[in-house]
Amino acid sequence: MQDETILDLFWQRNEEAIPAVKTKYGAYCAAIARRILPDPRDAEECVSDTWLRAWNAIPPHRPPRLALFLGKITRETALNRWKANNAQKRGGGEVPLALEELGDTFSTGEDPVGREVELAQLGQAISAFLRTQPPQTASLFLRRYYHLEPIRDLAKAFGLTESSVKTTLHRTRKKLKTYLEKEGFL
């Protein structure tokens, strides 16, 4: 089923929208959730929450790219679940590894600014920075820290050694830090 048709179902408040979106994007969202949440039950619940949040958001929203929209909801829901689990010492998966890598470059001090608006601005700044990078560097960065793909999978996908992937990511994090300092975020 085409995305436009699925969105029409959401807008008509037709409950067929949920099985339609599950069929088309269930595997995609489940893969995102599983990279963040090692417990399959947590991942499954997170994907179910995604359909509910999508149902509540559409309308009034009509996302131009449904897959990305659902992927972002899944990622955000899964990260929140991971943080809650981590507080109860039930964390795991790729998130602690990604946080450790980012922590090597960025200090772990308090954020100097308020959250929601600044997160959007920070996201825009990261976008601008990535557009100045070579395509494979930008792609590696996003697939590691947005999609939270394991380094060994990235090495395989890009035809590189794991060491080379780590080196590229390390250099990119340092360049991002310099860029964010220049832009006044750090």
Partner 1 sequence: MKPDTLLDALNYVDDDLLAWAEEPGTKKIRRFPKRLAALAACLTLLLGATAFATGALDPLLAYFDDPSGLYLEGFLAAGDSVANDTLEIRLEGAIADSRTAYLVVSFIGLDEATAWDLRRGGLDVRPELVYTVVTPEGEELPFSTSTMGTYTTGKSQAISHFEDADLTYVFAGTLPENCSMEDMDQVCLTYEGLSLSLPVGDYLCPEYALDPEGEGLPAVSHLRMSAIGFSYTTTDEELYLDLLPIFTDGTVYESFREDYGTSAGGDSHSVTGHWCAGSPLALAVLDLNDYCGLQVNGVNYYFVED
Q: Interface with partner 1 by CB under 8 A: which residues?
A: 4, 62, 64-65, 67-68, 71-72, 75-76, 79, 83, 95, 98-100, 102-103, 106-112, 119-131, 134-136, 138-139, 142-143, 145-147, 157-160, 179-180, 183, 185-186
Q: Give least dist CB 140 to partner 1, A.
A: 9
Tokens 């220049």 correspond to what residue? 182
Q: Give least dist CB 100 to partner 1, A.
A: 8
Q: Give least dist CB 55 to partner 1, A.
A: 20
Long-range Cβ contact pairs of 87-95 (< 8 A, separation 24 or more): 90/39, 92/38, 92/39, 93/34, 93/35, 93/36, 93/37, 93/38, 93/148, 94/35, 94/36, 94/148, 94/149, 94/150, 95/36, 95/148
Q: Give least dist CB 16 to partner 1, A.
A: 20
Q: Give least dist CB 104 to partner 1, A.
A: 9
Q: Give least dist CB 155 to partner 1, A.
A: 11
**132: Cα within 13 Å, side-chain hemisphere:** 9
Nearer Cβ to partner 1, position 15 or 111?
111
Nearer Cβ to partner 1, position 41 or 64?
64
Nearer Cβ to partner 1, position 2 or 56?
2
Nearer Cβ to partner 1, position 57 or 160?
160
Please check whether residue 4 is in contact with residue 47, taking contact to mean a CB–CB distance below 8 angstroms: no
Nearer Cβ to partner 1, position 56 or 110?
110
- C-alpha to C-alpha distance for 85 and 90, rounded to whole angstroms: 5
Nearer Cβ to partner 1, position 15 or 61?
61
- C-alpha to C-alpha distance for 168 and 181, rounded to whole angstroms: 20
Helix/strand number for the chain, H first, E second: 9, 0
- Residue 134 burial (CB count, 10 A): 10
